[in-house]
Amino acid sequence: MTIDETVNKYSDLVYVLAKARTKQLADADDVYQDVFCRYIEKKPKFKDETHAQAWFIRVTINTAKNMYRRFEFLKRADVEDSDLENRISDEDFLRRVDERTDFEAMLGKLSEDHRTVLLMRFYFGYSVKETAQVLDKTEDSVKGLLARAKKQYAEYVEREKKTEKTEKVTAVKGDDQHD
């Protein structure tokens, strides 16, 4: 069977399945195109009609899944990038650290990756580039980890401050009741 004959034979199957999986005509068109590009590129040999049909179904489903995985990854990356715009400056972070006597205890509450990048950057003085090389990560990955680590650390500090204020207010109210 020629490529044109194969495309004509499985065209409806792939398009209907792609449309059902993606629920968007433009996405279905992309999946359709990717499936037939893969067919032309791989030139698989099919044992029979059932095998060919199964191949087109499986490739269509996987292509649609991969499209949404990429979309979800890009969506998360956009959220993380917008998060980075609101990141805590190094100076502000170091000021917050200087205000704390329990820096190590606060670090212990962070994930291993977050602790590592904070220590490498602010304790050992590594640059982002050096940290990326040592950890075998990209610079962007290290920047993202640093931003999230500083944010998480700041959130812990704020929570601790609120807890301390609440405890002081409770203690003061308790003292007033004993008079």
**pLDDT tens figures, 83-114:** 444 466 666 666 666 555 556 666 777 787 88
Q: Could you count the other beta carbons within 10 Å of the beta carbon of residue 96? A: 17
Domains of the chain: 3-84 (1.10.1740.10), 89-177 (1.10.10.10)
Let me know the angle formed at the C-alpha of 79 by 134 and 157, rounded to the nearest 5 degrees.
70
**What value does the CA radius of gyration of the chain take, rounded to a whole number of Å?**
28
Residue 33: pLDDT band by 50, 70, 90 thresholds? very high
Residue 121: pLDDT band by 50, 70, 90 thresholds? confident
Secondary structure of 112-176 in HEC code, one letter for each residue: HHHHHHHHHHHHCCCCHHHHHHHHCCCHHHHHHHHHHHHHHHHHHHHHHHHHHHHHHHHHHHHHH
| pLDDT tens profile 128-158 | 888 888 888 888 888 988 888 888 877 877 7
Length of the chain measured in residues: 179
Which pLDDT belongs to residue 177? 58
| pLDDT tens profile 52-84 | 888 988 888 888 888 876 665 455 544 444 444
Which pLDDT belongs to residue 168? 64
CA–CA dist 53, 51 (Å, integer): 5
H-type helices in 23-101, by residue range? 25-42, 49-85, 90-99
- Centroid of chain to Cα 50: 39
Question: HSE-up of 160 (CA within 13 Å, CB side)?
Answer: 15
